[in-house]
C-alpha cells in the first residue's frame, strides 16, 4: 500500500508546534535532560566570574566604594547567599524551567508573576548588553588603546548613549549562535574554558598580592563612606546572579593595586592596573582571562535567558511563538534570537553605568520577591490554610516587608546618623519574623531540600535585598519605574487576555508535556 507523503500545501515545520490547525500554540516539549551537577557548577562559575568580577569592579571602585570595594562584594555576597538558599529549595520543589518566574507563578499567580517576568526579560537584555560593552573595553585595552577607542562617538546623542559599540553587538550574536546549537555543547565549551579561567584568577590573586603595599590604603579606605560601599554593593550584586541562571536550567538537569582607586579604568580595571604596576606580560594574561570570563558569561546568559523567555511564552504572557523548541538542537531558538537582538540593540547605544544600575535594581527586586514567595509556599496553601492562619501569616509578612522598606528609606534619608530609627525598624522586623516562627503554622514541608532557619533566613533575604535596592540612585528608580509602567500597560492590553484565553479556550487538546507542566504549576506534581 502506498504511503501518503507530507502535503505540499502544508510543509513540515522545523520547530515543534501544533499541527492540528493551532500552530500558534506550541507544545510544551520539555528540553532534553543532558546536564549534570558538574555542568551546573561550571555554568554558575562562568556566569558569576564573567558578569561581575571583570566588568563592575573598576566602575564601582572608582566612583562609589574606592579601596573598600572588597567590602561591597562581601555585602552583596551575603545577600546573594541568603537568596541562594531560597532558590535551592524552590528549584528542587518546582522542577520547571523558568527559574524565579515559575516559582512566583506557582504560588502568587499570573498577575503577581508578570512584573517579575518583565524584569527578568529586562535583566536578561541589559545584563547581556553590559557584558558585551565590557568585552569591547577589554579588547581595546588589550591592543594598547583607550577603552572607548573601538566605539563610535555620536555627539548628537545624550551622554551615556553616545558611544556606539558594534563590536559588542557582534559578540552577542556570536555567543548566542553557540547557545542555540544545544545546551550540552554550550556547557562543554564553558566547562573547558572555565578550567583556564580558574588558573587565570589564581594568577591574578598571586600577582596582585605580590605588589600589595599598605601605603596604598592611604589617605582613606572609605573615601565615599559606608553609603558608597552599600551603593557599590547594590550594583555589584549583578555579579552573583549565576545561581539564578543555574536554577532556570533545572528542566535540562539529569538530577536535580599601586595606583589609587581614582586612577582605575572604569571599563577595564584589571588590565590597566597590572600595566600600571609594570607587569606588561601579566596584562595580556589578565586581558585574555577577562575576555574568556565575559564570553563564558554571555554563553551562560544566552542559555538561561532563553529558558526564561520560553517559560513566559508557555503561559502566553508573551507570544507563544517564543516557546517553540528546535527538534534537532533541543533549544528555544526563537527565544534566544529575540533576547540576543534586544541585547545587541541596547549594547550598541548604552554605557556600562546605565546598564549596571538598571540590571541591579531588577535583580534585587526579583530576589526579594523570591524570598517572599518561599515564605508564602511554606505558610500558605490555597484551600487548606484556615482564614485565621492566613490572616496571621499575612499580618506578620506585611510587618517584615514594611519594616525592611522603612529601614532602607531611613538609611538613605537625612536621618542616617540617628540610631533610634534603626532600633525601631529592626525591632519591627524581628517582631514580624518571630511572629511567623511562633504563631503562624507551616502548611507545607519540603520534600527534597529545605532552606534552613525558617523563617529567619528568607526574612533576612527580604531585608537585605530591599536595603540594597534603596542604595541605588533616583535615576535607577526612574528607569525602573518607566519600564514597570510599560510592562503593566502591556499586561492590561494583551497579557491578561492571552493567558485567560489560553486557560478557558474550548476544544484544545492537551499533550503529555502540557499536562506535566500544568501539573507542576498547579501543585499536582509536588503534593502538600
As to burial, measured by CB atoms within 10 angstroms (0-12 exposed, 13-18 middle, 19+ buried), residue 294 is buried
| Cis omega (within 30 of 0) for bond into 219 | yes
pLDDT attached to residue 14: 34
pLDDT attached to residue 380: 92
Identify whether 335 is part of a domain.
yes
Whole-prediction pTM: 0.75
Identify whether 329 is part of a domain.
yes
Nearest to 37 by CA among 194, 239, 241, 191: 191
Structural domain of 440: 37-487
List, in sequence order, the alpha helices (H) in 352-418.
Answer: 352-379, 387-411
Identify whether 509 is part of a domain.
no
Cβ atoms of 151 and 7 within 8 Å: the answer is no
Cβ atoms of 499 and 518 within 8 Å: the answer is no
C-alpha cell at position 205: 590573586
- Check residue 241 and report its DSSP letter: T
pLDDT attached to residue 516: 38
| Cis omega (within 30 of 0) for bond into 353 | no
Identify whether 417 is part of a domain.
yes
281: alpha, beta or left? (left if phi > 0; alpha if psi -120 to 50): alpha
Identify whether 12 is part of a domain.
no
Nearest to 377 by CA among 80, 90, 123: 90
pLDDT attached to residue 8: 37
pLDDT attached to residue 118: 80
Identify whether 421 is part of a domain.
yes
CATH number, domain containing residue 283: 1.20.1740
Q: How far apart are CA 399 and CA 392, in angstroms?
A: 11
pLDDT attached to residue 184: 62
C-alpha cell at position 482: 518607566
Q: What is the DSSP string of 118-151?
A: HHHHHHHHHHHHHHHHHHHHHHHHHTTS-TTTTS
Cβ atoms of 513 and 27 within 8 Å: the answer is yes
As to burial, measured by CB atoms within 10 angstroms (0-12 exposed, 13-18 middle, 19+ buried), residue 212 is exposed
Count structural domains, the chain: 1
Identify whether 372 is part of a domain.
yes
Cβ atoms of 124 and 301 within 8 Å: the answer is yes
Identify whether 14 is part of a domain.
no
Q: What is the residue-level pLDDT of the chain in tens, covering all 528 positions?
A: 444 444 333 333 333 444 333 333 444 455 555 455 555 555 555 555 555 566 677 777 777 888 888 898 899 889 988 998 998 888 788 766 567 777 888 777 777 778 777 877 787 788 788 888 888 988 887 787 887 889 999 988 888 788 899 999 999 998 888 777 766 666 666 666 667 767 777 777 777 777 777 776 666 778 888 888 998 888 888 777 655 555 555 555 555 534 465 666 555 566 666 666 666 676 777 777 778 777 777 877 777 777 778 878 888 888 888 888 877 777 788 888 888 898 899 888 888 777 776 777 888 988 899 999 999 999 998 888 999 999 999 999 999 999 999 999 999 888 888 889 999 999 999 999 999 999 998 998 888 889 999 999 999 999 999 999 988 878 888 888 888 888 888 888 887 777 656 665 544 444 333 443 444 444 433 333
As to burial, measured by CB atoms within 10 angstroms (0-12 exposed, 13-18 middle, 19+ buried), residue 252 is buried
Amino acid at each position: 500500500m502506498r504511503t501518503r507523503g507530507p502535503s505540499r500545501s502544508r510543509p513540515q515545520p522545523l520547530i515543534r508546534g501544533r499541527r492540528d490547525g493551532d500552530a500558534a500554540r506550541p507544545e510544551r516539549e520539555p528540553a532534553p535532560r543532558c546536564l549534570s551537577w558538574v555542568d551546573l557548577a561550571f555554568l554558575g562559575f562562568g556566569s558569576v566570574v564573567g558578569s561581575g568580577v571583570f566588568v563592575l569592579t573598576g566602575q564601582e571602585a572608582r566612583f562609589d566604594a574606592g579601596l573598600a570595594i572588597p567590602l561591597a562584594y562581601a555585602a552583596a555576597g551575603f545577600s546573594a547567599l541568603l537568596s541562594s538558599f531560597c532558590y535551592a529549595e524552590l528549584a528542587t520543589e518546582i522542577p520547571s524551567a523558568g527559574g524565579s518566574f515559575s516559582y512566583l507563578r506557582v504560588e502568587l499567580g499570573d498577575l503577581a508573576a508578570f512584573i517579575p517576568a518583565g524584569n527578568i526579560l529586562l535583566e536578561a537584555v541589559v545584563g547581556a548588553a553590559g557584558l558585551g560593552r565590557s568585552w569591547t573595553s577589554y579588547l581595546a585595552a588589550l591592543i594598547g588603546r583607550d577603552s572607548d577607542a573601538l566605539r563610535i562617538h555620536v555627539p548628537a546623542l545624550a551622554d551615556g548613549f553616545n558611544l556606539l559599540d558594534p563590536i559588542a553587538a557582534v559578540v552577542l550574536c556570536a555567543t548566542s549562535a553557540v547557545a542555540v546549537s544545544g545546551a550540552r555543547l554550550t556547557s562543554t565549551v564553558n566547562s573547558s574554558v572555565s578550567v583556564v579561567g580558574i588558573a587565570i584568577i589564581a594568577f591574578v590573586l598571586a600577582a596582585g598580592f605580590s605588589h600589595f603595599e599598605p601605603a596604598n590604603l592611604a589617605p582613606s579606605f572609605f573615601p565615599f563612606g559606608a553609603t558608597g560601599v552599600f551603593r557599590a554593593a547594590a550594583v555589584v550584586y549583578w555579579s552573583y546572579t549565576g545561581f539564578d541562571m543555574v536554577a532556570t536550567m533545572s528542566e535540562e538537569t539529569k538530577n536535580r593595586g599601586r595606583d589609587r582607586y581614582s586612577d582605575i579604568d572604569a571599563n577595564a580595571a584589571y588590565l590597566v592596573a597590572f600595566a600600571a604596576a609594570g607587569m606588561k606580560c601579566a596584562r595580556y594574561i589578565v586581558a585574555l582571562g577577562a575576555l574568556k570570563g565575559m564570553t563564558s558569561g554571555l554563553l551562560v546568559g544566552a542559555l538561561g535567558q532563553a529558558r526564561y523567555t520560553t517559560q513566559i511564552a508557555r503561559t502566553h504572557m508573551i507570544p507563544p511563538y517564543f516557546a517553540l523548541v528546535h527538534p534537532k538542537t533541543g533549544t528555544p531558538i526563537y527565544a534566544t534570537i529575540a533576547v540576543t537582538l534586544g541585547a545587541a540593540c541596547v549594547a550598541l547605544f548604552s554605557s556600562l553605568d546605565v546598564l549596571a544600575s538598571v540590571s541591579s535594581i531588577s535583580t534585587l527586586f526579583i530576589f526579594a520577591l523570591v524570598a517572599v514567595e518561599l515564605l508564602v509556599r511554606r505558610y500558605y496553601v490555597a484551600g487548606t490554610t484556615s482564614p485565621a492562619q492566613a490572616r496571621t501569616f499575612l499580618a506578620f509578612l506585611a510587618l517584615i516587608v514594611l519594616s525592611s522598606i522603612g529601614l532602607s528609606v531611613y538609611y538613605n534619608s537625612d536621618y542616617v546618623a540617628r540610631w533610634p530609627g534603626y532600633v525601631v525598624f529592626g525591632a519591627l522586623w524581628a517582631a514580624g519574623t518571630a511572629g511567623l516562627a511562633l504563631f503562624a503554622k507551616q502548611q507545607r514541608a519540603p520534600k527534597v531540600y529545605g532552606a534552613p532557619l525558617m523563617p529567619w533566613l528568607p526574612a533576612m533575604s527580604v531585608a537585605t535585598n530591599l536595603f540594597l535596592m534603596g542604595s541605588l540612585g533616583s535615576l535607577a528608580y526612574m528607569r525602573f519605574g518607566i519600564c514597570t509602567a510599560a510592562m503593566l500597560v502591556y499586561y492590561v492590553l494583551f497579557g491578561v487576555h492571552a493567558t485567560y484565553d489560553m486557560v478557558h479556550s474550548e476544544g484544545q487538546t492537551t499533550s503529555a508535556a502540557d499536562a506535566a507542566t500544568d501539573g507542576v504549576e498547579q501543585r499536582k506534581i509536588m503534593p502538600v
